[in-house]
Every structure is written in C-alpha cells, then in structure tokens.
C-alpha cells in the first residue's frame, strides 16, 4: 500500500517539475494545469520540522479548495502522515481535514471508510478518537445509500460507546442518531467487535436511551439530541422512553433540560392519545395532556433559555384538552387565606353590574370568602398558571414567546381566545416595545374570535397615545378587525382616535382607514349616535363644519361607511352632509363607499350609473380586455394600413381600463406597454431611412435610436415591474428586447465607420441571442415565425459571417418577423409606490448649515414589490443635477399586510450653501439586474466568499422609477464664523 502511495506521489512530483521547465519557455503557449495539491501538501508535511509547523501547513491547506479529482490523492497523503504522526493536535487536524475533504462535491468517500475505521482501532488519544468519529459521521452522511457501510459505522459507534471520555461517547451517540435506523435491530451477524457480543440484539433507540442516565450532562444532552435526530430523520420513536425523558426535565443542567423539553414535546406529538398513569393516584390521562402539564411546569424553570423553549413549544400543542388549556391562565388569588378575585374578574363584574370605574376604595379588593387551607395547592402539578408566569417573566424573550404561544393556541380554540384576552390586553402595557407590538399583532390575529368589552377596549385605546408610530399603527390595524359590543364603545373609540389625530397629525391616513372599517363593521351601533356625531339638532341649524378638518373627515368616514349597509341612516344627514359626501366620494374615494342616497337626484342618478358598471364590472372588464387582445392578435402584419391605428386605440382603451378597474390595472397596463413597444418598433422600421444612403440618414437616425432606447427601457419595466409573470411572457419580452437591440446594432453599423467598433457590438448581440436560447429552450415552440426563431435558424451562419453581413441579415429578419401575441397570465400586479411623506406641500424650507447633514423622514407604501429590501432605493435629485442613491436599511421595511410593504426611513441630505431655498426631488427607484432574474448560480461547496461579492454588485444594470417624485424645499445656509 505504502509503496503504491509513494509511487503515486513521485509521479505527481515528476509532473510538477516538468511543468516548471515548460513554463520557462515563453514562446510556446501552453495550458497549465495546477500543480497537484497532494504533492504540495506532501512536501510541506515532510519539510515540517515540528508538530506546530505541520499544524500550520495543514491550516493553510484547509483554506484552499481542493478539486474533486485530487481529493483521493490528498486523503492518502494525509492518512500516511496520520500513521507517522505522534503529536495529538496534528492527528486531530488531519482527522478533521479528512472529514472536510469527504464533503467535497463529486467525491465519493467510500474508499476512505476502511482506512478511517482502521485508524480508529489504533488510536489512543480520546480527543483524536472523537474527531475521527466525527469524520466517520460526515462520511456516513455522504453515503446514505450504502447500507453495508452504514452498518459498519454503527457497529463501530456501538463499540466505542463504552469509552470513558465524554467526547467519544458524544460523537458515538451523534453518529447513531444521524445514521441509525430504528426498525431494524442492530443485526448480530455483522458483529465483529466484542461490544456487539456482550449486548443482546437491541435497536438503536434503546442503546441511545441507556445514555439518558449517563453521568456526564454533556453525554445526556447528546443522547437526547441523537434521539431527536432520529425523529427528524423520520424514524418512529417508541413511547417507552417517555418516562425517562420526563425525569430528565428535572436535571441539574440547563442544556439537558432544554433538550428534554424538546424530547417530551416530540413524544407528545407522536402519541397524543395514548394513556399514561398519574403517579401517586390511580387515574390516567392522555399523554399530550400529561406532557403539556410538564412543559408548563418548565415555564417557571430557573434558566431562561429553558423557559423560552418551553413557552415556544406550548404554542404548538394544539391537541391538548381544553380543560388543561384553560388552566394555564388560572391563578387563584388569596390574601390572608381568603379567596380574592383577580383584577380581571373584578373588572368583568363591574362591567356586568353596569357600574363604571368608580375609583377604587382602599378595601375594594378586600378578600371575601375563607379559603379551605387543605384545598389550596401552592405548587401546581400541572398547567396551572403557566402563561400567567410566562407573561410576567423577567426576560422579554420569554414574554414574547409566551405571547406567541398564546396566539397560536387561541387561534385553534375560540373559548381559550376569549379567556386570554385580558392577559393580552395587559401586555399592551409591557415595558419593552417589542413585547407590546407583538401582543397587539397577536390580538389582531385572534380578533375574529373575540368581542371586546368596554373596559377592555378602554385599555386598548389608551395605547393610542403611545409615541411609537409602529405601536399606533399596529393598534389601528387591530381596531380595523375588532368587534365591539356597544355603541359607547364606538364612541369611545372615535373619541380616542380623534385625540390621537390631534396629537399625531401624521397618523391621518391610518386613522381614517381604521374608522372606515370600524364603521363598516358596526353599522347598527353607529346608527344611534349619528346625530351626536354630526352634531345635528332636531330644530336648530348647526354651523357647517370645516371640510378641511381631518377630525371632521374622520367622523364622516365612520358615518358614511356605516351608512353603506344601513339604509335608514342618510335620513339623519343634514344638507351639508350630502354635499360633503359628494366631495369626499371624489377626493377620498378609497375611504368613502358609494351610497344610495334617497331624494338626491343627481347623486342618485350618477350613483346608479356607477353601480351599473360596478356590478359584474370585473367580469365585463375582463371580457373587454380579452376582446381587445384577440382583436389585436388578428393582425399579422403591422404594416397593413389601419393596423397602427387599431393598436393606438387599443393601447388607449387598455390604459383607461386600468384606471377604472383596479383589479385589472396590472394586466391592462402590462398589455398596453407591450403593445406600445410593438407600435414603436413597427414605426421605427417603417422609417424611410432604410432605403436611404448612409450619409443622408443622420437626422432620421436620431428618431429611430430614441425609439430603440425607449423600447429597451419599456422591456425592462415589463420584466421587472410586474409580478406574476410566467416564463412565456418573459421570453416574449426578451424577444422584443432582442429586436430593439438588433435595431440599435443596425443603426450603429450604419452611422459609424470602421469595422472594429461594430465587431464588439455584434459579438455582444450574438451572446444575447445565445443566452436567450439557453434560458428559454422550452418556450421556443411558441415562437414560430418570430424574430428569435429566425435568428436561431440562421445562427450557424451568423457566427461565421462578417459584421456587415450580419447587419444585413438582421435588417431583413427584423422586417420579415411576425408580431408575437401576448398570452395573458392569471394575475399580474404592477409594483408601485407612493410617498406619503414628505407631502411636497410644505412651503417652509428645511434649513441647515451647509456641509452638515439634515435628516429627511420618508414614509412610503410599496405594493407588489418583490424582495423590497434589496431592490428599493431612494433617489435624491438636487437642483444642480447631482443625484444620490440611498439604500434604506432592511429594518426600515415593515410588512403590515400581504403584498404591502411600508418603508419608513430617513435620508440624509447635504449640500454646499445656496442663496435661496430650492426644491430637491425625492423618489423611489427599483433596482434590477438582468442576471438576478435567472436561476442563481450555485456556489461551490468549498467557501470562496470573496469571489461572490463583487459579482453580485456588478450585475445591477439599472433602475426603474417606482414612484412619482416629491419636491422638498431645502435651504443650506453658509456656515457662520
């Protein structure tokens, strides 16, 4: 063996030296192969004088990747050194390298297995032994199909389980967990070592569970983890270990407890319905209930890590019986041995008795009945008050996970949702904002199950004054979905929201939206308070309120939305209310619904008309869209007279349709833009310049080149601005883009002299065509007679011919090619953004000292933007043409709902001094990169992060305007000295 190895090495040596000699001859061009890794390593290791030296070489070696072909050689070298090496640390490193190398893609490590197992037998150092087992683990996980190999590995692991060193036992358990199988007992016929003989036929699970009682906590942890690993790999774990796992819950070590909690949880999910006895009584309960109780107990564990884990896991135990579930919120209060009611109970009673907070007297919460001393259970064996503890925990991590668990349990059980309401509302008052926010979100999620009582609503509404914008907006969102019980609640909510509005005017939109839903949800509750809200009087005319007052608009939004499903309400309106309705319906149409107003002719008439369109409008609009597309598709040749007119009209129709029907806006816009591209292309091709001589066509040239440029831009928009596109559409867009590029190429060829320049452009174009073919191979059948198809047919000729010939071919193909019809996909959404703030209305310039910075708050909503964190940028354009692009932090993007993203960020402005205040423009951009839309290139397994970064930077090709620009007055003043 060794001789063979040496031979190999020397072969490689000789190769290297040969290359070196060849290199010295400059005249010949040679393809150099890299010097062999294994040889270089061998030299290094042989040269190494001390173990430290050798270790250094190995470390250096580990930093560089190794190709799959040379792995085996390297492994041999390493093994050879391994046998020779006496230093533990070097052997350890070699062992770890072996593992690392076996992970190399394209290398099958079966050939290493024998050697690795051999080394294991002769190894004395425990640490190295552990590392070798780790290596075996890696090898084993690379070869999941080789049952014989895995069986051997398992045998080896079983043999070393009796080691005295914890690390070895750990690794053995890990190996068993990752590779072992439960269904088969560890077969006896393969037993080679003495370990297998002493133990009778046992399966992996019982072997692992023996180590639940190991003396070393690390081994106990490893044993549980191995068991969990088995479970993760889909093995069926037996219920027998349940009791053992439960015992581990009271282990002294936090890591063991933490793993044990998971184990118990897994078992409870596997055998929820099996029955376990309660110790110290002869009753029996379901396993899931028993484990629920035990995990609840862990919520008051000494270590917060365990507490977090327990609280999290509780949330996923949906099968638990409601009786146990409700106990988690139970906490019997007692004062001087007398039963006391909780504040929650008192609040509920107060509410039920019709009495409102009278101001509590000293002895109001005085305890009432005597508690039977024997009946009080201070330490609760079971779920009692688990969430009460969890929500009061010192660490906010625990509180957050408790809130989340509450949420997920409440979603599956309405009665529990009702019960946990009080506790969630209490959490609105937490000291940490994240917890408050989370509990508001949670309440929103379970709000379908609950109706808020007045006193609860009161507490909820108190949070509206919070200075954090996120909290307020989350609360508005919550109010949108809440049900309240009485008309007083509505009034209370309105009053608080108006207070909020005066305190934080920037919340305007959010408050209005909130009131819209509140009104629409509770029309019958709003009805009795309408006169009061609109301050109308049965006899007297009241002054007409100011239409620009946001508070008044807020009230109107509430009333109008309620009136939508309450036809009697408009009778209560006064004259000016109707006028204001008409105004608001126009200006804030997204907030004010259409109303059928009796006795108001014009409005009623126009209303009917609108409603006629409104009913079934979606269907008809869809039909219209289809019809227009079919009509256009009837055109085969755009050069026929009238065809262009038809296109123009269709584009106009589609654009109008998009404005009318918001649901179809995406599709309609998409089609319109596509058709526009086609139109531009046709027009460009019809220009006379093609027949003219080259020198004469310069003027015409400009027009066509702008058209080409425009088409290119539009295609980028088509590709990146719309979401929901299928590959076929993308291919169609690419086809158009190729056409535009071809057009550009022809123009360059015609206008510029000299072949060299054209050569580069041609090569680029051909590359584009090739990449099209690569990407859209499957779609090609749809492209009969198209430009691309023709090009691909001519491809062999194109690559061979000269640039000028190429241009000629392109010119003819362009003119002959057919217009490709667009197939509309199901759902297309156009990405859009609106900047809410700054509004651009302010006349007061932002003043700051030049050279320093000023922060400008930006608040924008984005819709249907994919992956906004990486693509959305803010552009600031100064009057002198300077433009800055700012990347907002990922944390500035919030997602209030599906498909919607909110960007709240600050951009820093700076400039040298101006004499006068001047406007800058702020807008949002969508950055795109042509390569990112394609399949991402998989990285090599062996690190190389350095190369990854710049490539991702370089492929950003451009930006699309995503929002309308907003103008902001700024005034940098010169510094005073």
Closest contact distance (angstroms) between CB of 123 and another protein is: 19
Measured distance CA(686)–CA(694) in Å, rounded: 16
Strands 284-286 and 275-277 turn out to be: antiparallel
Closest contact distance (angstroms) between CB of 515 and another protein is: 22
Calculated CA dihedral for residues 446, 448, 454, 457, nearest 10 degrees: 50
User: Which positions ≥6 away from 875 have C-beta within 8 Å?
Assistant: 883, 884, 885, 886, 921, 922, 923, 924, 925, 959
Strands 451-452 and 483-484 turn out to be: parallel
User: Which positions ≥6 away from 147 have C-beta within 8 Å?
Assistant: none
Choose between 381 and 633: whose C-beta lies nearer to another protein.
Answer: 381
Closest contact distance (angstroms) between CB of 219 and another protein is: 9
Closest contact distance (angstroms) between CB of 222 and another protein is: 13
For the chain, how far is it from start to end, CA to CA, in angstroms? 85
CA distances from 830 to 124, 507, 898 (A): 67, 26, 15
3-state secondary structure of 834: strand
Q: Which stretch binds another protein (CB under 8 A): 28-36, 463-471, 694-702, 942-950?
A: 463-471
Interface of this chain with another protein, residues 205 to 244, rule: CB under 8 A: 210-211, 213-215
Size of the site for another protein (CB under 8 A): 50
Measured distance CA(416)–CA(481) in Å, rounded: 19
3-state secondary structure of 909: strand
User: Which positions ≥6 away from 331 have C-beta within 8 Å?
Assistant: 342, 384, 385, 388
Measured distance CA(975)–CA(350) in Å, rounded: 64
Interface of this chain with another protein, residues 402 to 461, rule: CB under 8 A: 423, 426-427, 429-432, 459
Choose between 359 and 599: whose C-beta lies nearer to another protein.
Answer: 359
Q: According to the binding rule CB under 8 A, does residue 756 interact with another protein?
A: no
Closest contact distance (angstroms) between CB of 229 and another protein is: 19
Choose between 111 and 395: whose C-beta lies nearer to another protein.
Answer: 395
Interface of this chain with another protein, residues 605 to 644, rule: CB under 8 A: none
Choose between 85 and 214: whose C-beta lies nearer to another protein.
Answer: 214
Q: According to the binding rule CB under 8 A, does residue 164 interact with another protein?
A: yes
Q: Which stretch binds another protein (CB under 8 A): 271-279, 336-344, 479-487, 539-547?
A: 336-344
Q: Which stretch binds another protein (CB under 8 A): 106-114, 327-335, 624-632, 875-883?
A: 327-335
Whether residue 480 contacts residue 514, with contact meaning beta carbons closer than 8 Å, is answered with: yes
Whether residue 311 contacts residue 390, with contact meaning beta carbons closer than 8 Å, is answered with: yes
Q: State the DSSP H helix or E strand holding residue 860, giving kind and residue range, or none if neither.
A: strand 854-863
14, 18, 415, 468: residue in contact with another protein (rule CB under 8 A): 468
Q: From 114, 136, 122, 115, select the one nearest 180 (Cα to Cα).
A: 136
503, 797, 802, 934: residue in contact with another protein (rule CB under 8 A): 503
CA distances from 898 to 407, 421, 461, 595 (A): 19, 25, 25, 29
Interface of this chain with another protein, residues 472 to 491, rule: CB under 8 A: none
Closest contact distance (angstroms) between CB of 525 and another protein is: 24
Choose between 396 and 942: whose C-beta lies nearer to another protein.
Answer: 396
Q: Which stretch binds another protein (CB under 8 A): 45-53, 335-343, 559-567, 928-936?
A: 335-343
183, 189, 394, 548: residue in contact with another protein (rule CB under 8 A): 394
Handedness of CA 778, 779, 785, 789 (dihedral sign): negative
3-state secondary structure of 401: helix
CA distances from 505 to 292, 466, 469, 498, 520 (A): 48, 13, 11, 10, 23
Handedness of CA 778, 779, 784, 786 (dihedral sign): negative
20, 68, 343, 702: residue in contact with another protein (rule CB under 8 A): 343
H-helix segments, 540-664? 550-564, 575-587, 601-614, 617-633, 643-660
Q: According to the binding rule CB under 8 A, does residue 278 interact with another protein?
A: no
87, 203, 392, 768: residue in contact with another protein (rule CB under 8 A): 392
Closest contact distance (angstroms) between CB of 165 and another protein is: 11
Choose between 351 and 848: whose C-beta lies nearer to another protein.
Answer: 351
103, 202, 331, 576: residue in contact with another protein (rule CB under 8 A): 331
- Could you give the string, one character per residue 350-389, with x where binding to another protein holds by CB under 8 A and - elsewhere? ---------xxxx----------x--x-xx--------x-
Choose between 428 and 776: whose C-beta lies nearer to another protein.
Answer: 428
Choose between 91 and 472: whose C-beta lies nearer to another protein.
Answer: 472
Residues that bind another protein (CB under 8 A): 162, 164, 210-211, 213-215, 252, 300, 302, 331-337, 340, 342-344, 359-362, 373, 376, 378-379, 388, 391-396, 423, 426-427, 429-432, 459, 462, 465-468, 503
């Amino acid at each position: 063996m060794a001789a063979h190895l040496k031979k190999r090495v020397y072969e490689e040596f000789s190769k290297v030296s040969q290359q070196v000699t060849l290199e010295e001859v400059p005249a010949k061009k040679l393809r150099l192969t890299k010097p062999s890794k294994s040889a270089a390593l061998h030299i290094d290791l042989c040269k190494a004088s001390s173990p430290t030296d050798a270790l250094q070489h190995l470390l250096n070696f580990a930093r560089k990747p190794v190709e799959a072909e040379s792995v085996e050689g390297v492994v041999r070298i390493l093994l050879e050194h391994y046998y020779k090496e006496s230093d533990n640390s070097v052997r350890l490193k070699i062992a770890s390298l072996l593992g690392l190398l076996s992970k190399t893609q394209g290398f099958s490590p079966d050939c290493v297995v024998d050697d690795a197992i051999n080394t294991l037998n002769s190894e004395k150092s425990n640490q190295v032994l552990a590392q070798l087992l780790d290596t075996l683990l890696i090898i084993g996980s690379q070869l999941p199909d080789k049952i014989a190999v895995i069986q051997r590995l398992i045998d080896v692991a079983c043999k070393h389980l009796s080691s005295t060193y914890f690390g070895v036992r750990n690794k053995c358990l890990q190996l068993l967990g990752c590779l072992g199988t439960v269904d088969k007992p560890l077969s006896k016929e393969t037993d080679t070592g003495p370990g297998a003989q002493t133990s009778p036929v046992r399966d992996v699970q019982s072997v692992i569970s023996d180590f639940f009682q190991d003396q070393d906590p690390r081994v106990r942890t490893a044993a549980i983890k191995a068991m969990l690993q088995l479970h993760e790999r889909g093995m069926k774990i037996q219920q027998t270990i349940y009791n053992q796992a439960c015992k581990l819950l009271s282990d002294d070590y936090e890591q063991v407890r933490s793993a044990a909690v998971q184990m118990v949880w897994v078992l409870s999910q596997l055998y929820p319905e099996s029955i376990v006895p309660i110790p110290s009584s002869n009753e029996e309960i379901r396993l899931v209930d028993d484990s629920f109780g035990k995990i609840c107990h862990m919520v008051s564990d000494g270590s917060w890590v365990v507490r977090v884990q327990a609280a999290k896991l509780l949330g996923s135990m949906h099968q638990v019986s409601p009786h146990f579930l409700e106990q988690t919120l139970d906490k019997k209060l007692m004062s001087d041995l007398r039963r006391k009611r909780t504040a929650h109970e008192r609040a509920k009673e107060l509410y039920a008795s019709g009495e409102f907070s009278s101001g509590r007297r000293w002895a109001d919460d005085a305890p009432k009945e005597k508690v039977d001393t024997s009946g009080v259970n201070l330490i609760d064996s079971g779920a009692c008050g688990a969430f009460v503890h969890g929500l009061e925990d010192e660490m906010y991590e625990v509180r957050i996970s408790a809130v989340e668990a509450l949420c997920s349990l409440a979603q599956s059980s309405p009665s529990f949702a009702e019960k946990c309401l009080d506790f969630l509302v209490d959490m609105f008052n937490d000291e940490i904002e994240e917890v408050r926010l989370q509990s508001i979100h949670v309440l929103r999620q379970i709000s379908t199950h609950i109706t808020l009582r007045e006193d609860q609503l009161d507490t909820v509404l108190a949070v509206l004054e919070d200075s954090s914008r996120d909290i307020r907006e989350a609360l508005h969102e919550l109010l949108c979905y809440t049900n309240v019980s009485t008309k007083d609640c509505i009034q209370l909510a309105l009053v608080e929201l108006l207070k909020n509005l005066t305190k934080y005017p920037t919340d305007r939109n959010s408050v209005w939206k909130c009131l819209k839903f509140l009104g629409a949800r509770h029309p019958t509750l709003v009805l009795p308070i309408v006169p009061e809200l609109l301050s109308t009087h049965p006899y007297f005319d009241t002054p007409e309120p100011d239409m620009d007052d946001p508070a008044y608009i807020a009230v109107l939004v509430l009333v109008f939305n309620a009136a939508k499903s309450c036809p009697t309400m408009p009778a209560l309106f006064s004259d000016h209310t109707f006028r204001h309705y008409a105004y608001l319906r126009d200006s804030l149409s997204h907030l004010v619904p259409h109303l059928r107003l009796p006795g108001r002719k014009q409005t009623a008439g126009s209303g009917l008309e609108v409603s006629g369109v409104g009913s079934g409008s979606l269907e008809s609009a869809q039909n219209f869209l289809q019809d227009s597309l079919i009509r256009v598709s009837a055109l085969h040749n755009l050069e026929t007279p009238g065809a262009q007119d038809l296109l123009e009209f269709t584009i106009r129709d589609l654009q109008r349709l998009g404005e009318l029907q918001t649901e179809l806006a995406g599709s309609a816009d998409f089609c319109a833009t596509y058709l526009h591209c086609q139109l531009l292309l046709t027009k460009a091709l019809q220009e006379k310049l093609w027949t003219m001589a080259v020198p004469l066509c310069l003027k015409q040239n400009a027009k066509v080149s702008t058209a080409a440029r425009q088409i290119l831009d539009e295609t980028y928009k088509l590709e990146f601005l719309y979401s929901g596109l299928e590959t076929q559409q993308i291919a169609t867009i690419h086809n158009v883009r190729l056409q535009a590029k071809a057009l550009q190429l022809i123009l360059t060829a015609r206008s510029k002299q000299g072949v060299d320049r054209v050569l580069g452009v041609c090569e680029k174009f051909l590359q584009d065509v090739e990449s099209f073919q690569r990407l859209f191979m499957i779609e090609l059948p749809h492209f009969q007679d198209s430009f691309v198809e023709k090009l691909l047919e001519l491809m062999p000729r194109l690559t061979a011919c000269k640039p000028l010939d190429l241009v000629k071919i392109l010119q003819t193909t362009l003119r002959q090619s057919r217009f490709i019809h667009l197939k509309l996909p199901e759902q297309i959404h156009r990405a859009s953004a609106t900047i809410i703030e700054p509004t651009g209305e302010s006349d007061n310039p932002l003043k700051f000292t030049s050279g320093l910075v000023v922060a400008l708050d930006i608040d924008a909503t984005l819709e249907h933007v994919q992956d906004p964190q990486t693509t959305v940028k803010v552009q600031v354009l100064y009057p002198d043409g300077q433009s800055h692009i700012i990347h907002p932090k990922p944390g500035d993007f919030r997602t209030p709902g599906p498909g919607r993203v909110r960007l709240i960020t600050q951009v820093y402005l700076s400039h040298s001094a101006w004499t006068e205040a001047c406007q800058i423009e702020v807008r949002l951009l969508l950055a795109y990169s042509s390569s990112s839309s394609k399949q991402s290139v998989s990285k090599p397994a062996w690190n190389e992060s350095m190369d990854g970064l710049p490539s991702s930077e370089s492929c950003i090709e451009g930006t699309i305007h995503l929002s309308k620009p907003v103008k902001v007055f700024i005034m940098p003043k010169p510094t005073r000295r």
